[in-house]
Structure 1
Amino acid sequence: MLAAAAARSILTQLHELMASRMHAQGKLNQVVDIIGEALHSEVCSIYLLREGMLELYATRGLNQSAVHVTRMGVGEGLTGTIARNVETLNLAHAAAHPEFQYREETGEEKFHSFAGVPIVRRERAIGVLTVQHLDPRRYEDVEIEALQTVAMVLAEMIQNAGLVDDEDMDGQSVAHSGQELLTGLTLVKGLARGQAVFHQPRITIEQTVAEDIEAERQRVYLAFDKMREQIEHMSNQAEFGVDGEHEQVIETYKMFAYDEGWSRRINEAIDSGLTAEAAIERVQQRTRMRMREIDDPLLADRMHDLEDLANRLLRIVSGQLGTAASLGLHGDAILIAKNLGPAELLEYDRRRLKGVILEEGSPTAHVVIVARAMGVPVLGRVRNARALIREGDDVLLDATRATLVVRPLSDAIEAFDMRFARSQERQAEYAKMRDVEPITRDGQRIQVMMNAGLRDDTPMLSLTGADGIGLFRTEFQFLVSAALPARDRQMRLYRDVLEAAGDKPVIFRTVDIGGDKSLPYLRNETSREDENPAMGWRALRLALEREALLKVQARALIEAAGGRTLNVMFPMVSEPWEFDAVRQVFETQLTFLKGQKRKLPEAIRYGVMMEVPALAEMLDHLLPKLSFMSIGTNDLTQFLFAADRSNPKLAERYDWLSPAIFRFLQRIVETSRDYPIDLGVCGEMGGRRLEALALIGLGIRRLSITPAAVGPIKELVCKIDTQEIGEAMRGWLAYPPANMRETLQRWAEERNIDVD
């Protein structure tokens, strides 16, 4: 008998049985008879997980007195092994298996052959379906496939009847029930605790048995067509993938999307009587079981790609295309995703979104920039996160240490809570610094400003007591928009930010897009075709070519700052002529608006980001034209070391506390002293206490950092004597120590300055 025919025969009878008014126990008693007769098997039994134990719930062929009496733990005996591993067993001689256990009350000693399949719900075994035979023989593949199909329908029946405890239905006591420690790459530091929520929730299949097989087949055909369209569209998406890996991923997706074997297996599952959704899930279950047996990492990765594609197909055929954001969060949540875009992240409720875990992700990804601004810790490159973490699992996220604990035990929770409490205590101490002026012990006033990029960031000015916004990243509005933001929309944002800041200064950086910050609606200009996008066609280079884009932004900034001082900064200036060109665009727009009788800024202060090392050689030509300059340490560092900071192999290789970097910065500081400009540092370096200590020692008097770092840096400033650290830095740079970081740490510890 063919697998589809065998399964269809059983499912037809089960469909009628499920529709009857018979009580659950009676239905299961009939189920084992139906399966036993269809497979010509002397024994058929159903075990269900209740209170953490597998309980014999119905049987044909074993002693009826053993029903509700025989119980075994997950992992105990053959049945427990199936539940623990979520795998199928097919044995000609059951007693020869190392996990075999004999239960006298069942009367099973006379049966030699044994086959069992897990009853799976939400990727977890909630029970086991077994068959046994007198003669020693392995069950045929078609019989096993029929059992697996029936087990899927049983899962629906069991759920609807409420036969399994709620905690077991959630799978907490079955597969993946123990504590697991996972590691990744720190993208945004921080601690968070919450329940795992999938960005694209798993689809719960409500109906497994088909009413009309041909209608189900047509639904799958249409879903395949739509999925293939999406994959083709992905090929043109600039943001898909990381560091050039997208081409390989897309090719793998295409291979599976057009694979006749995959679509044939789904069709065969429909032939057996399953709905389109159940057929896709049935094939997925088979894939997951194969994945557990694969030792080859490359092949396992490809199987994960197929899993992703199957989930996409399932969402299309079910019509459930929404994300967790559209459904709403119902408590403290740790979001799990393969990857995220910045606009997708902004859809979530900030009060409930506590952290993000990504299977991919890079330090320079758009979502990381936005998450840092939101104060949401992010851990990336967590391999197989969506396979190892389940919806609703408790998660302890320590993005600072690049670890997370899934389903933590009490000891792990206690340790995390202590660390979290210490962190909260320190944050409370830092919050007290809000109204404290950051003045060093020898009377030097250090400006501590904050970085921002969203309208919602501005309340942090008053909460942190920052001196102003030292960097407002105007590209955020471009990154989270589906189309190029219109001038009026840009102007409203800039005006709102200025009004929220009050008398505190705001430095607007003109749009820094292109390279690794590609925009789909400017694909030709911002696509990641550069072999090294960080040094590619981006920022000011792109803006000067797309002069219309720059003109619109210039006019929006000038109009927004009417009656105020406008501080505008240009990114990635490599030579003085680039500054002259972009300043001329602003001056032309200023003249135009003056002719239109518009209200103009009281003054415009022009500045640049010092991030391209070549500019340091031309400062004597550029500085007389500037009001201020901000050293962008993130890009400057990678350019100095020729090390892509998005490459995980290089992320930790080069230290910010390097004599090479400090000597370069020292030269900029000394050159700038001859000109009346405001010099500062803008970037992560200024928000780290040890690095900030060194920067102040070099003569930096303005730091622009993340809002979360404002309190800690203010507290640090009040402990520093600038003359003392300045003298120490000059000595170390003249005769560099073997390890600058350790030398600085020892110096700080000797003076009771906490630099952790």
Structure 2
Amino acid sequence: MTAAASARQILTRLHEVMASRLHAQAKLDRVVEIVGKSLDSEVCSIYLLREGMLELFATRGLNKSAVHVTRMAIGEGLTGTIAANNETLNLAEAKAHPDFQYRPETGEEKFHSFAGVPIVYHERVVGTLCVQHVDPRKYEDVEIEALQTTAMVLSELISNAELVDEEDARGLSGAQTGTQNITGLALVKGLAGGFAVYHQPRITIDHIVADDIEAERQRVYRAFDKMREQIDNMASQAEFGVGGEHDEVLETYKMFAYDEGWGRRINEAIDSGLTAEAAIERVQQRTRMRMREIDDPLLADRMHDLEDLSNRLLRTVSGQLGTAASQGLRKDTILIARNLGPAELLEYDRRRLKGVILEEGSLTSHVVIVARAMGLPVLGRARGIRGIVRDGDQILLDANQATATIRPSQQVADAFDTRFEKSREKQAAYAKLRDVEPFTRCGTRIQVMINAGLRDDISALAMTGADGVGLFRTEFQFLVSATLPQRERQTRLYRDVLEAAGDKPVVFRTVDIGGDKAVPYLQSEQSEHDENPAMGWRALRLALERGGLMKVQARSLLEAAAGRELHVMFPMVSEPWEFDAAKEVFEAQIQHMRKQKKHLPDTIRYGAMLEVPALAEVLDLMLPRVDFLSVGTNDLTQFLFAADRANPKLAERYDWLSPSILRFLRRISSSMVGHQVDLGVCGEMGGRRLEAVALLGLGYRRLSITPAAVGPIKELVRRVDLGEITEAMTGWLSDPQTDLRKNLQEWAAERGIETD
């Protein structure tokens, strides 16, 4: 018997139980027997939420005397963990799980394997369905899917029989009143205020079991056609130009909309006897399970895109087409969503949409690319926000501090408004410095450049008056593409960037992928097992191994910069021979293009990122080879301190203003004396005012920073006397005090220099 036929048999028998005249308890007793026998599982149990506790309502295999006696708190034991996290568990050995709790009254000591799924009603967990087996084994995917389908049917039974109090369900959701503060991950920085609007109105699935399978299949086919038409229209109407990274994001999104495998899985769920809506939800549950198992952030983000499309398909097939976007925003809005696809964000009225808060989301997610281009602050990883925020609640979003205040008091709102206005005044003051060159008080010209990664970022040059792009991250095009970007597409991007920059220089860093920026089409055996990806098979290491990758990028950059000056920088250089090997790739392409009589750049300047500490030990060998050197403070700091910057416990532990990092940076600067090599810093350190003061005192004269920091740093430069700060830094580093940051703050305060 096929998996679909087996599932259909279970559904048919469950449907018969639901339609019978048995009372609710008897129906639950019959359900556990059907599921247990169908899965050849000695135990099948149903726990339902009652008075804030999960109560054993029915069981096959455990002691019957435990029914209505055994109770678990939310988060207690395996059953409580399923309810608390709204997730599936599938364990070969239940006792090995840290949340396992033994209940002697159930007689479960002889059972080893355990699987359980949440029973969800109106997006709220109202119970759990669990199976156990004597032999230690993981349940097969088809068995887990049968459990999840049964849980969907049970939610309908529970609702009709009023077995769970609505108040209990609300209590589990944690809905709150009064002022609440939430924290998350700043995905796009900025301040915004508005009223909460949920991106996705709740879709209620009233019918689980299909009466006519073929009719349900046709409904899904029609919904797919309609959804694909919508996606095609949105892609063609995107307002970010033709051929840019945003188009590539939408192309990846579109790829999922036409994915045959997704449609096939929904068809299989319909074959098992589910309605179109239930089948889509069934496949979506499976997607969520896979998302929790994915460590690769890029792949996880693509699974989010698929979930976004599932929601769109579900709305289409159910006839409940209205998202908050289609219904129209009536006032300043902070949008709330579990996750958001890039195409869906583009549907919103930009005059009303002020900010976004996501339950999930990551810095590499596709929606962040679009939100940044739209100038929308975004807060991600806001866990549990659905239980805190109600539709229409006032929200003050501070993505600079990665926080949001829900239902603020008038005093808090007034303080935020004052801060918001002060921020706008500061930005206006910084904007006036756009055409002012940043000279220090002693008359030294400091170069202030921007870091970029998107074509649209180049517009910040004109807005801020920056001297150029000190770091253009070429890997972004690779991260948002489903396949390796072709040479023509790379060339078009680089040419567009150079044309947009005009006569200002752009330093292109060759691709830095691999490690924690993995792409599925460039996986290698080495990178798959990196226990510390930041120090793994990435950046120049990967590019030199994949010779074709670097050749294509070299050719694209050379063609794009024809008739111009080209600045190329190689990332994560550890030894001089790596720089030589990378430069040789470019030189070989130059010779090839000359033979073909292709137009070449007028000048090529080669540089390296100094982020691996080993390179500092061979600077005497490196400096004759390079035209410029950029210190990458983000990676350099984590390598020096052996501290993973992605680890929240370590993120704030090691200070950029500690004597060890500052002495290291001074040693690099001192090594440059007598060499005609430009030295700069690119990284977050240079964009922070107090840290920038320290860098100026160490001899750094070029800072490449985020566009938002250009105005504040230009204003700062004009207040600093290099002689004074150099003398102060020399003294502090000769005999370091406990808190060098405090020394710098006092020095700045004495001179009326405002710090961060």
TM over 0.5: yes
Q: Residue 733 of structure 1: CA displacement?
A: 0.6
Q: Residue 372 of structure 1: CA displacement?
A: 6.6
What is the rounded CA distance, in whole Å, between the counterparts of 2:458 and 2:125 in structure 1? 45
Cα 1:345–1:4, aligned 2, differ >3 Å: closer, same or farther? closer
Q: Residue 9 of structure 1: CA displacement?
A: 9.0
What is the rounded CA distance, in whole Å, between the counterparts of 1:323 and 1:480 in structure 2? 28
What is the rounded CA distance, in whole Å, between the counterparts of 2:322 and 2:625 in structure 1? 50
CA contact (8 A) 2:15 2:209 kept: no
Paired residues for 1:539-550 under 5 Å: 539-550=539-550
Deviates more, 1:590-599 or 1:719-728: 590-599
CA contact (8 A) 2:507 2:568 kept: yes
Q: Paired residue for 1:449?
A: 449
Q: Paired residue for 1:700?
A: 700
Which of 160, 168, 176 is 1:149 aligned to?
160
Q: Paired residue for 1:572?
A: 572
Identity %: 61
Paired residues for 1:423-438 under 5 Å: 423-438=423-438
Deviates more, 1:142-151 or 1:640-649: 142-151
Q: Paired residue for 1:624?
A: 624
Q: Paired residue for 2:517?
A: 517
How many residues of Structure 1 are paired with residues of Structure 2 in the alignment?
A: 554
Q: Note the residue ranges of structure 1 that are not aligned, 5 or more in a row.
A: 11-34, 36-81, 91-119, 126-141, 156-173, 227-257, 285-306
Three-state SS of the structure 2 residue aligned to 1:470 is: strand
Indicate whether 1:719 and 2:719 are aligned: yes
Cα 1:451–1:526, aligned 2, differ >3 Å: closer, same or farther? farther
CA contact (8 A) 1:342 1:480 kept: no
Cα 1:429–1:604, aligned 2, differ >3 Å: closer, same or farther? same
What is the rounded CA distance, in whole Å, between the counterparts of 1:660 and 1:345 in structure 2? 44
Counterpart code for 1:550: M
CA contact (8 A) 2:659 2:736 kept: yes
Q: Residue 350 of structure 1: CA displacement?
A: 7.3
Query: What per-residue deviation string (whole Å, max 9, x for no partner) do you get for residues 583-625 of structure 1?
Result: 0000010111111111111110000011000000011001111
Three-state SS of the structure 1 residue aligned to 2:524 is: helix
Q: Paired residue for 1:667?
A: 667
Counterpart code for 1:667: R
Q: Residue 479 of structure 1: CA displacement?
A: 1.2
Cα 1:471–1:621, aligned 2, differ >3 Å: closer, same or farther? same
What is the rounded CA distance, in whole Å, between the counterparts of 2:548 and 2:496 in structure 1? 24
Q: Paired residue for 2:206?
A: 208
Three-state SS of the structure 1 residue aligned to 2:569 is: strand
Q: Paired residue for 1:30?
A: none
Three-state SS of the structure 1 residue aligned to 2:609 is: strand
Cα 1:492–1:310, aligned 2, differ >3 Å: closer, same or farther? closer
Paired residues for 1:383-462 under 5 Å: 383-390=383-390, 393-462=393-462
CA contact (8 A) 1:440 1:717 kept: yes
What is the rounded CA distance, in whole Å, between the counterparts of 2:316 and 2:524 in structure 1? 33
CA contact (8 A) 1:441 1:720 kept: yes
Counterpart code for 1:735: D
What is the rounded CA distance, in whole Å, between the counterparts of 1:730 and 1:634 in structure 2? 24
CA contact (8 A) 1:363 1:645 kept: no
Q: Paired residue for 1:636?
A: 636
Three-state SS of the structure 1 residue aligned to 2:623 is: helix
Q: Once superposed, what is the RMSD of the aligned Cα atoms?
A: 4.8
Q: Paired residue for 1:611?
A: 611
| TM superposition score normalised by structure 2 | 0.63
What is the rounded CA distance, in whole Å, between the counterparts of 1:317 and 1:688 in structure 2? 46
What is the rounded CA distance, in whole Å, between the counterparts of 1:537 and 1:347 in structure 2? 39
Three-state SS of the structure 2 residue aligned to 1:433 is: coil
Cα 1:281–1:619, aligned 2, differ >3 Å: closer, same or farther? closer
Three-state SS of the structure 2 residue aligned to 1:625 is: coil
What is the rounded CA distance, in whole Å, between the counterparts of 1:580 and 1:586 in structure 2? 10
Counterpart code for 1:589: Q
What is the rounded CA distance, in whole Å, between the counterparts of 2:693 and 2:512 in structure 1? 29
Three-state SS of the structure 1 residue aligned to 2:523 is: helix
CA contact (8 A) 2:201 2:324 kept: no
What is the rounded CA distance, in whole Å, between the counterparts of 2:591 and 2:600 in structure 1? 10
Counterpart code for 2:666: Q
What is the rounded CA distance, in whole Å, between the counterparts of 1:426 and 1:211 in structure 2? 60
Q: Paired residue for 1:234?
A: none
Cα 1:146–1:344, aligned 2, differ >3 Å: closer, same or farther? closer
Indicate whether 1:741 and 2:741 are aligned: yes
Of structures 1 and 2, the larger Rg is shown by: 1
Three-state SS of the structure 2 residue aligned to 1:466 is: coil
Paired residues for 1:253-264 under 5 Å: none
Counterpart code for 2:698: L
Q: Paired residue for 2:129?
A: none
CA contact (8 A) 2:491 2:557 kept: yes
Paired residues for 1:180-329 under 5 Å: 180-186=180-186, 188-196=188-196, 201-205=200-204, 208=206, 213=211, 215=213, 277=277
Query: What per-residue deviation string (whole Å, max 9, x for no partner) do you get for residues 179-236 of structure 1?
Result: 321123445543222454667x35423x73689646499779x99xx9xxxxxxxxxx
Three-state SS of the structure 1 residue aligned to 2:631 is: strand
CA contact (8 A) 1:210 1:216 kept: no
Deviates more, 1:411-420 or 1:716-725: 411-420
Q: Note the residue ranges of structure 2 that are not aligned, 5 or more in a row.
A: 1-12, 24-48, 58-120, 127-152, 167-173, 225-264, 285-303
Counterpart code for 1:613: P
Q: Paired residue for 2:242?
A: none
What is the rounded CA distance, in whole Å, between the counterparts of 2:481 and 2:689 in structure 1? 35
Counterpart code for 2:159: Q
| TM superposition score normalised by structure 1 | 0.63
CA contact (8 A) 1:3 1:145 kept: no
CA contact (8 A) 1:337 1:358 kept: yes
CA contact (8 A) 1:203 1:320 kept: no
